[in-house]
A and B are shown apart, each in its own frame.
Chain A
Amino acid sequence: MSWLSPTIVASLIAMLQAVVILLGAVLLGAVMTVVERRLLGLWQDRYGPNRVGPFGSLQLIADMIKIFFKEDWIPPFADRTLFVLAPVIAMASLLLSFMIIPITPGWGVADLNIGLLFFLAMAGINVYAVLFGGWSSSNKYALIGAMRASAQTLSYEVFMGLALMGVVAMTGSFNMREIVNAQEGLWFVIPQFFGFCTFLIAGIAVTHRHPFDQPEAEQELADGYHIEYSSMKFGMFFIGEYVGMVLVSALIVTLFFGGWHGPLLPPIVWFALKTGAFLVFFVLLRASLPRPRYDRVMSFGWKFCLPLTLINLLVTGAVILIADPL
């Protein structure tokens, strides 16, 4: 058994961890589709899906069977290559971002020095999914949805990155583990409150969740950029959106709410609880708010959020310099 050297064991464990996290992320995204409907039902005075299995717990399996066996239709007028590529990008770019999230001290896929930058890059790539999907469908509604999505994501990514720079400045690193460790005494949500607010808004906008779901606004665009998609291609967009929701929740927890830190309970439980709380918050937002008009969303981003992040960054920088002059 001499080939089973410690290095190999370590890399096998790392691979196993990666697979578990990957499956966990996808599964959580899928489960969220059902959890969301049940929660909406609760808040909307109705049951939600409760027919399949005890308390509707097997609804997910029924949905999966349905979506796998639907006809995978590509419209004859679509640009095939891009049409097929778009959902792949949508799903892959978000899943890849999970790589940088440290779940517990011992769990996590990669410990990148440029952790945060990697996430921002992936979020940037995610725009292409929507853009390609909307453009290649050759459908006017999809096109308008894609236009809205690209404009919105671009605008909100500008200050999404900036909102995180306060955290980076306080930690002095882009590495996610170091960011979590830096919060052992005080969660960043307190010193970086405005950074948290703007990142939360940008996070919702980038994942196209209500109330920033203008790109797919059902009442206006009848589902926007993925209107022509069916079967698993639609499923990938759909699950991708929920994976994005999980990702943003996990990021908020990591960056502002001390990651796995917390008293008494084991780290994994703390991480799960905090992430879960944000997932529920996302659903609650959808249940309670109307949708602002698209141009207002843009001007809110540029005229309110961007200046706020800049001021936040400026103040953070000044405080750091005053407290610890080089």
Chain B
Amino acid sequence: MSVATPTIDSTAADDPVVGALKQRFGDQAILEQATLTGMPVLWVARDIVIEVLSFLRDMPEPFEMLYDLSAIDERLRGNRRGLPASDFTVFYQLLSIARNRDVMLKVALHEDDLALPTSVSIYPNANWYEREVWDMFGIDFRGHPHLTRILMPPTWNGHPLRKDHGARATEFDPYTLTVEGQDVEQEALKFKPEDWGMRRENADTEFMFLNLGPNHPSAHGAFRIILQLDGEEVVDCVPDIGYHHRGAEKMGERQSWHSYIPYTDRVDYTGGVMNNFPYILAVEKLAGIQVPERAQTIRIMMAEMFRITSHLLFLGTYLQDLGAMTPVFFTFTDRQKGYEVIEAITGFRMHPASFRIGGVTMDLPRGWETLVQGFLDWMPKRLREYERAMMENAIVRERTRHVAAFTTREALAWGVTGPNLRATGCDFDLRKKRPYGGYENFDFEVPLGSNGDVFDRGQLRIEEMRQSLRIIQQCVDHMPAGDYKADHPLTTPPPRDKMLQHIETLITHFLQVSWGPVLKPNESQQMIEATKGINSYYLTSDGNTMSYRTRIRTPSFPHLQQIPAVMRGGFVPDLIAHLGSIDFVMADVDR
């Protein structure tokens, strides 16, 4: 299988970045940790972390994007193999487009002193990530402009991702809500402009604060954004998220490696098996499984089917947000045709959870080629029709051209990935740049935009659907023969025909289904080009049947954080157009 399973030693010991860091900060300051993440993982002390971050951001071929920032509660972790003593570890993952490399910094913190300096001034998108870490772990970021809860309700007690916080409702007292309690909750949700350093009026205008959402037809889910309006002009806005938070990361610590798969489907609920992909690949790195080519090709085919259905949903709602009511019905018809294919192959429509550790659930059904080919023949003329009827429409162009535009530089600073990044002209598609799961075998192009505006984000996705169709066509034409599951002890569940014959496999089957497979202690990560941007799972195994920490980095989270930076000075209809063009679902933001 294409995903290299690096040996422990191969994690770039003589990486130029590590060299440069050691040269600048001294050998003692940088401690390398060997992992399966495929990037240098470096422990640095709390007092130099800001300097290290600035150094990496400002070096030649810089690490311009803060890709992820979160933490791990290490207090119950058994296998730490000579790592620095730490109760809570905060990690920063940085991404460099020019180098096409990542680097991860880890900072050890002691339970009694959970604080470190904020990095908002270096990476603007650290703002929400640091709030999330504070919310989930109770780690203080000194100098943060607005360190409040972001996913949990403002009145919540405790920090959910700490190991001593309950995970299930049964671990808590039964929930009650008194009238006073309700008043307190409602008061807590009230928006107070002063808290955000906003003024209620200036010399000649009194601003209107408009509460858009969490129930609003164009908010695409339970998303709330408070607008500071001067007439219809958006002076400033504050996105408020967390209404869709389900604790997907916490659930990862309570489910076996195998039984967590269906939970991933629901993270980006329009992406289906696309969500299984990074998780499964990361687990397979931990397990050291090579997946047969047939399984790889089935996975890619289904992932691309879901990219198309997700983009079709995007296209319909995007145009509907521009006031065109008809296209959404047409795209839903197309989507239905896609789901018929998906259902025939995986058994389910929206959330098939059909990837397995070591392969997929089942082999392709008889007659699958005809079904898929039917879909492939149907789509191109429909895509042309959408372009002719809508993307070439003068009103659509007027509503979208040069609206909510941002440059590649801004996009990278805010952590924007996926089609929204490529719409700015930045050629960064993981399927090409870091092929995973077999993408290196396929011939396709990466469509790029130029203006990074609402129009480009829409047009680009139509082009991406064409490329996905190309990939699926290649799957149909060249589907390899062979197994749909790897012959490996950790393949879960093991191949059934073998299970019925060999007692060894039967025992393994029993253990894996009742307890779950046990993975060796290590850390792994896999990034993929998901429907909405780069999605990754960063898994920490402590040698158990369950993950010790599951970090899900989703693309929509930073995309929403960027909204105020783009929308200041725009009009309310522009904001709606921008919301439509981001392509987010709240489940993907809040997890």
A contacts, CB < 8 Å to B: 40, 43-46, 140-141, 144, 210-211, 213, 217-220, 222, 286-296
Contacts and interface: CB of A to CB of B under 8 A. Distances in A.
Given A45-B330, A295-B571, A289 B324 contact: yes
Contact of A44 (B232, B326, B576): B326
A46 B399 CA distance: 28
A45 B210 CA distance: 36
Contacts of B216: 222
Nearest to A43: B326
B319 A290 contact: yes
A289 to B, nearest CB: 6
Given A45-B330, A219-B218, A290 B232 contact: no
A123 to B, nearest CB: 24
Nearest to A292: B395
B1 interface: no
A294 B330 contact: no
Contacts of A217: 323, 573
B572 interface: yes
Interface in B392-446: 393, 395-396, 398-399
Given A287-B325, A293-B573, 10 more contacts: A213-B323, A217-B573, A218-B217, A220-B576, A288-B389, A290-B390, A290-B399, A291-B573, A293-B399, A294-B232
Contact of B323 (A43, A219, A295): A219
A141 B576 CA distance: 14
A219 B321 CA distance: 6
B458 to A, nearest CB: 12
A287 B398 contact: no
A290 B210 contact: no
A218 B319 CA distance: 13
A151 to B, nearest CB: 10
A45 B325 contact: no
B518 interface: no
Interface in B558-591: 571-574, 576
Nearest to A143: B208
Contact of B208 (A40, A140, A289, A292): A140
B476 interface: no
A299 B574 CA distance: 17
B326 A287 contact: yes
Contacts of A219: 217-218, 320-323, 576
B519 to A, nearest CB: 47
B441 to A, nearest CB: 37
Identify the interface centre among A44, A144, A288, A293: most chain B CB within 10 Å of its CB.
Answer: A293
Given A211-B323, A217-B323, A219-B320, A291 B330 contact: no
A293 B404 CA distance: 14
B326 A288 contact: yes
Identify the interface centre among A46, A144, A291: most chain B CB within 10 Å of its CB.
Answer: A291
Contacts of B211: 140
Contacts, number: 79
B370 interface: no
Contact of A46 (B319, B321, B329, B390): B329
Contacts of A286: 325
Contacts of A141: 210
B10 interface: no
A82 B576 CA distance: 31
A220 B216 CA distance: 9
Contacts of B571: 293-295
Contact of B399 (A43, A210, A213, A292): A292
Contacts of B398: 292-293, 296
Identify the interface centre among A40, A210, A213, A290: most chain B CB within 10 Å of its CB.
Answer: A290
A199 to B, nearest CB: 21
B379 to A, nearest CB: 15
Identify the interface centre among A46, A144, A220, A289: most chain B CB within 10 Å of its CB.
Answer: A220
Contacts of B389: 288
A319 B400 CA distance: 43
Task: Report the interface size class on chain B.
Answer: 20 to 34
Contacts of B576: 219-220
B182 interface: no
B121 interface: no
A210 B216 CA distance: 20
9 contacts: A45-B333, A218-B217, A220-B218, A220-B572, A220-B576, A290-B322, A290-B393, A290-B399, A293-B398
Nearest to A148: B232
Nearest to A288: B326
B211 to A, nearest CB: 8
A219 B573 CA distance: 9
Given A290-B393, A295-B571, A45 B322 contact: no
B232 to A, nearest CB: 7
A39 to B, nearest CB: 12
A61 B320 CA distance: 30
A289 B320 contact: no
B573 A290 contact: no
Contacts of B396: 290
A107 B383 CA distance: 51
Interface in B300-340: 319-326, 329-330, 333
Contacts of B330: 44-45
Nearest to A144: B232
A144 B333 CA distance: 35
Interface string B184-198: 000000000000000
A280 to B, nearest CB: 15
A201 to B, nearest CB: 14
B329 A290 contact: no
A290 B574 CA distance: 14
A45 B331 CA distance: 11
B208 A210 contact: no
A43 B390 CA distance: 15
A286 B325 CA distance: 8
A189 B393 CA distance: 27
A286 B576 CA distance: 19
Interface string B529-551: 00000000000000000000000
Contacts of B572: 144, 220
A207 to B, nearest CB: 17
A44 B329 contact: yes
A218 B393 CA distance: 21
Nearest to A141: B210
A141 B320 CA distance: 19
A35 B80 CA distance: 70
A150 B232 CA distance: 15
Nearest to A219: B218
Interface string B203-225: 00000101100001110000000
A290 B395 contact: yes
Nearest to B231: A147
A54 B319 CA distance: 34
Contacts of B232: 144, 294-295
A84 B324 CA distance: 32
B297 to A, nearest CB: 33
Contacts of A220: 218, 572-573, 576
Contacts of A211: 323, 395
A292 B395 CA distance: 6
A222 B217 contact: yes
A140 B208 CA distance: 8
A293 B574 contact: yes
A291 B571 CA distance: 14
Given A140-B210, A219-B576, A290 B217 contact: no
A293 B322 CA distance: 9
A107 B57 CA distance: 81
Nearest to B322: A290
Given A45-B329, A222-B216, A293-B574, A210 B323 contact: yes
B205 to A, nearest CB: 14
Contacts of B329: 44-46
A290 B208 contact: no
